[in-house]
Structure 1
Amino acid sequence: MTTFKSMPHTARKRVVIKLGGSTLEGLNESFFENFKKLQESGIELIITHGGGPAINRELAVRGIESHALNGIRVTSEAAIDIVQSTLIGKVNPALVHELTTAGIAAIGLNGFDGQLIIADYLDKDVYGFVGEVKTVNTSLLEAIISAGVVPVIACIGSGEHGQALNINGDTVASEIALAIDANSLILVTDVSGIRINEEYQLKATPSFINQWIEEGHIYGGMIPKVQGALECLSAGIPSVQIVGESLVGTTILSEG
């Protein structure tokens, strides 16, 4: 992946927050309180989001079938229109409205805005209209961040010829984080981190996570989350946090 750089990375801390699952159906008060605390501490924030529940409802209403393969939504030509209109027309503005109502300056974006996310087909024969990130226009993000505004990015990419491509939400979050030299990636989920023997873990390392998976302590939907976190760490993001809506949970750090 290449990026359009406009200025060198500063000493200021940057964090990408990825919102997913039922958290997008309405954020609680503690989310906004802790979000503001991060801002007040001098951290620059970027939000990325998917919209699975809303997309599923729209597809069902129109009788369009959809399924996941390897954690990725296989997206037909009929489905991409629904994904695009739902993310850009409904989920993104609703999220921006929640933030601005809470007193947080925010602006909604998607891959088409200023060529923010240029993508290519991941594998059209297998996944249909699903994209992989090729370039991120960091100049645009730098301008918005420097104005004190939070970018809120829907995971729709623009193909070379203007075709909308659906991109996995965790993938967009990690690619944005890498492009802007983020200090951390926060994955906001339906649970407050990694729970082992009924106890939430404050910290974890790749070796512990692999051990917990092997022993069956991490299972089901948490497995792809922690695997995605490990991929982000190996790609160069210093830390990844898996948290609940209060932005409190498990911090995953590299070994040593």
Structure 2
Amino acid sequence: MTTFKSMQPIVPDRIVIKLGGSMLEGLNEQFFKNFKKLQAEGNEIIIVHGGGPAINKALADKAVASTTINGFRVTSEEAVDIVQCTLVGKVNPALVLQLNQNGIAAVGLSGYDGNLLECDFLDKETYGFVGEIKKVNTGILETLLVNGITPIISCIGCLPDATPLNINADTVASKIALAIKADCLLLVTDTPGIKINGEVQEVVQTPSIKEWIASEDIYGGMIPKVTAAMECLKEGIPSVKIVDEKLNGTTIVHQEVFA
């Protein structure tokens, strides 16, 4: 057998998986099986998660009102502390535990850890304490990935003075994917992709998404998902999919793919 010392090591593909909050309690054996299969195929994976149902319950328990605008949770100063405690103190550790119990080495992070997410207000007048990510510092992610550990990221960032900010999880996932030059972004939700007139669309071009937003066929929480998807495609992420826990659903592509 002839060997070549000059051969370059194979660079693993990178996948960012965003788990919607409604999915976290319902993760089943099939999800973990698919996840480990992706790892066995040589992929490095990062998970970003939301926590909508848990946050809604925590806010209701404290009698703190909550509304959404364009799929973003309007977050008061009182609410953001509850959101932070819920995501970082409850939802994230529970997800990390599930992964560890299913044979997946995982470590929980928030935007505070390793100065991961540098943020500012998205629009304080409209959304309150909701963050816009200005920079992703990937050092801590690279350290974990090279050691075979899956980072599990909750969607909490902060201002330079450490004031917490709630960030839409789809936005966090897209920014992380861009920062680590991911090969694929998977947005996992309880809806198996984009539904138009009750039917899941297998492949969707970006101009159609813009038309469906304008016609309100795409609305609510799906708007941040498709917006994040289009931004990632525009910036060079090769593949973006909105899928269910079996990782089946809608693939979103640029129109140029079919040109």
TM-score under structure 1 length normalisation: 0.89
Q: Please say if 1:51 is aligned against 2:51.
A: yes
Q: Is the 8 A contact 1:16 1:47 kept in 2?
A: yes
Distance 2:184 2:11 in 1: 14
Distance 2:223 2:125 in 1: 26
Q: Which amino acid aligns with 1:200?
A: V
Q: Please say if 1:41 is aligned against 2:31.
A: no
Matched length: 247
Q: 1:198 to 1:62 in 2, by over 3 A?
A: closer
* Alignment match, 2:4: none
* Alignment match, 1:114: 114
Q: Please say if 1:254 is aligned against 2:254.
A: yes
Q: Is the 8 A contact 2:21 2:49 kept in 1?
A: no
Q: Aligned to 1:252, what secondary structure does the other structure show?
A: strand
Q: Is the 8 A contact 1:239 1:254 kept in 2?
A: no
Runs of 5+ unmatched residues, structure 1: 1-9
Distance 2:216 2:114 in 1: 45
Q: Which amino acid aligns with 1:128?
A: G
Distance 1:212 1:122 in 2: 24
Q: Aligned to 1:175, what secondary structure does the other structure show?
A: helix
Q: Please say if 1:154 is aligned against 2:154.
A: yes
Deviation at 1:175, TM superposition (A): 0.5
Deviation at 1:202, TM superposition (A): 3.1
Deviation at 1:219, TM superposition (A): 5.7
Distance 1:73 1:200 in 2: 26
Deviation at 1:76, TM superposition (A): 0.8
Distance 1:79 1:221 in 2: 19
CA RMSD of superposed structures (Å) = 2.0
Q: Which amino acid aligns with 1:102?
A: N
Deviation at 1:217, TM superposition (A): 6.1
Q: Which has the larger radius of gyration?
A: 2
Runs of 5+ unmatched residues, structure 2: 1-9
Q: Is the 8 A contact 2:111 2:154 kept in 1?
A: yes
Q: Please say if 1:20 is aligned against 2:20.
A: yes
Q: 1:26 to 1:214 in 2, by over 3 A?
A: same
